[in-house]
Amino acid sequence: MECDVILITGFGLEYIGALPFLINHNYYKPIYMTLPNKILGNIVLEEQMNILKNYYKFDLKKSSNILDNSEIIIDIKYMQPFNIKDINVCAYNSGYSLGSTLFKLTVGVQNIYLGFNLNHRKENLLDGVDLNKIKDPFLFITNSNYVFKDDVSCKVRDADIKKFIDKYLGKKMKLIFVIDYSRFLELALILNSIKNKKIVCLSYQLKKFIERAKSMIEWSGSKALETFYKEKSNPFEFDNIDFVECKLFDYKQIQLRNTIVVFFNEDKEDQFIKESKSKRIYEYSGKIIEQNEESSSESSEVIEEEMDSSEEKDFHWSNFNFETWREKTFLEEEKKQLPITEDLEYEIIYGKLNLEPFNKITDQSQNIFENGTLEIKFPLNKKPRNYDNYGETCDLNSIKMILQGSEPQKVVIIPDDYESGKMFYYSFIYSNSICQYYVCLNTLNLSADTSVSIVNLSEDFLKIDYKTIGNDNIAQFKGKKNGNVVEYLGKPADIMVANLELNDLKKKLIENNLKVETNGNVLIVEKKTFLKLDGNELYLEGEHSDFYYYVRNILYQNIAII
């Protein structure tokens, strides 16, 4: 299958991880992305390659700076339209990370919106999606991970994180925060406001990442810009955070207690665990009950405690084999390039540590609590409230507001995993949604056999008497096309027209506070009256009562004589 163009919506590894492989295998078509996605995405790739070079042999020079050096990558700005053949494209802020993008594609008179991990709420780093920019969507394409998010405001989330830090650092413990580059700036703005704690960030490329981010302040939101203009300081200075370049992420060099350690999670959870065998790592992604008060926790963060030094040798990371997740179709030859991650689990992609290795560690940690009991449960199919990825604050109700408020005719869900895709789909199907929802499990083909051309109208069209059907204004006329202009020739005999689109009828009924269910081509209104569409004929069935005539009068609003 040929690919004419690639649109990049973010700079995380899940967005740009395949680009080195494509570019080094002679992909030559345009790749469009915002400047932050290009610059910061290149740093994320370098971070990944610096880790993997310890385990695989590949040409580091060939893959280094691949986004900066590639001629096929085209920088774009927000709200600056450009054309790809006969498609007009415009990029908007999606609210997830610096430079993250919601694309609007206009084909003829139809608008298609494409965006992942949308966030409509204002955060410390970014403003949310501007809902006023989403106009007349025919099709909206997004992903499904919103169903795992809790309805929590940015203010509440920030306060909870600080309470968590005060609680555990007050016990002279050391905290490890696991996060990916896409969400680091949001977390860093929170941590930098904590003045009395030691905060250390470990990474290969973080210093370079911060320096480049400082020059992209214009891509941030109103809160960060207010700091920049009013206080005359760059919000990305992070004076209270130490950035340490460390090989193989040897965080043991941070010996101080009462310390916050930020560890970067670009698809390297397995390596993190294997290098941490000299420590006890607890990942609170499930329900944890501990009778040992000293080590109990109600939070969802990663907590690290010292092990007995006698146990350290048995758990050294070098005693274990390291394996990287990558596409199954890649052959040995492709290991020379950057190994690409596979979307195996929601937890892996969005900064949450894989649960499987932790089962092994926690089994061994039972011996610590000789005088108490430790019960650990990891419900794999349900994600409780947590902030381990400091994700955007867009939850299921929020994405419903975005989609139902913008009123697209069709919504295509690209599932992050089977369960979230299914839950997302049915949460809309069983609600009073007026859209048609689809789950894309393979390839989405948006091509059409018909062509659309746009023409101008002569001034005589201002004389037309328009009639209203639902939310549409329509009129009948005679005309002829003269070049690129349609000339008005008068009004023909009257005709009756009706809108028989079930989604529009359903919307009209819901607007009148009626409960409507859909069963194929039948609308069930308050379980009393039935609207059945059979070809081009609409039937209204039910007991002839005041309610029946009330529904009929609503339907008459979708009929006009023009």
Place of tokens 């002279």: 172
- The better pLDDT of the pair 399, 472 is held by 399
Q: Are residues 346 and 424 in the same domain?
A: no
Q: Return the pLDDT at 313.
A: 37
- Residue 10: phi, psi to the nearest 5? -165, 175
Reported as half-sphere exposure (CB side, CA atoms, 13 A), residue 329 has a value of: 2
Quick check: 211 pLDDT over 80? yes
Asked whether the beta carbons of 261 and 198 are under 8 A apart, the reply is: no
- Residue 303: phi, psi to the nearest 5? -120, 135
Q: What percent of the chain has pLDDT over 90?
A: 18
Q: Are residues 141 and 166 in the same domain?
A: no
Q: Return the pLDDT at 176.
A: 74
Quick check: 373 pLDDT over 60? no
How far is residue 526's CA from residue 554's CA, in Å, rounded to a whole number?
14
How large is the average pLDDT for residues 527-547?
A: 87
Q: Are residues 179 and 207 in the same domain?
A: yes
How large is the average pLDDT for residues 192-198?
A: 84
Q: Is the dihedral of CA 350, 351, 352, 354 positive or negative?
A: positive
Question: What pLDDT, in 10s, does the model give residues 227-274?
Answer: 888 888 899 999 888 887 765 555 555 555 667 777 665 544 444 444
Q: Return the pLDDT at 247.
A: 54
Q: Are residues 344 and 423 in the same domain?
A: no
Task: Please provide the average confidence, as pLDDT, over all residues in the chain.
Answer: 73
Q: Facing residues of 389 across strands? A: none
Question: What pLDDT, in 10s, does the model give residues 492-532?
Answer: 888 888 877 777 788 788 888 888 888 878 889 988 999 88
- The better pLDDT of the pair 484, 260 is held by 484
Q: Are residues 213 and 160 in the same domain?
A: yes
What is the band of 299 on the pLDDT scale with cuts at 50, 70, 90?
very low
Q: Are residues 305 and 372 in the same domain?
A: yes
Residue 509 belongs to some domain of the structure:
yes
Structural domain count, the chain: 3
Q: Return the pLDDT at 101.
A: 96
Residue 385 belongs to some domain of the structure:
no
Identify the CATH number of the domain in which residue 315 sits. 3.40.50
User: Could you tell me how far CA 315 lies from the centroid of its own chain?
Assistant: 36
Q: Are residues 165 and 139 in the same domain?
A: no
Residue 387 belongs to some domain of the structure:
no
Identify the CATH number of the domain in which residue 540 sits. 3.30.310
Which range marks the domain in which residue 13 is found?
6-150+392-439
Place of tokens 């027209």: 497
CA–CA distances in Å: residue 116 to residues 119, 161, 448: 9, 25, 24
Q: Are residues 95 and 179 in the same domain?
A: no
- Residue 30: phi, psi to the nearest 5? -65, 145
Q: Return the pLDDT at 455.
A: 82
How far is residue 78's CA from residue 101's CA, in Å, rounded to a whole number?
8
Q: Return the pLDDT at 504.
A: 78
pTM of the model: 0.66
Residue 28 belongs to some domain of the structure:
yes
Q: Return the pLDDT at 300.
A: 35
Question: What pLDDT, in 10s, does the model give residues 28-83?
Answer: 899 999 999 999 999 988 888 877 776 666 666 666 677 877 889 999 999 999 99
- Concatenate the DSSP letters of all residues of 218-267 into one string: GGS-HHHHHHHHHS-S-TT--TTEEEE--GGG-GGG---SSEEEEEE-SS
Q: Are residues 341 and 221 in the same domain?
A: yes
Q: Are residues 196 and 340 in the same domain?
A: yes
Q: Are residues 322 and 465 in the same domain?
A: no
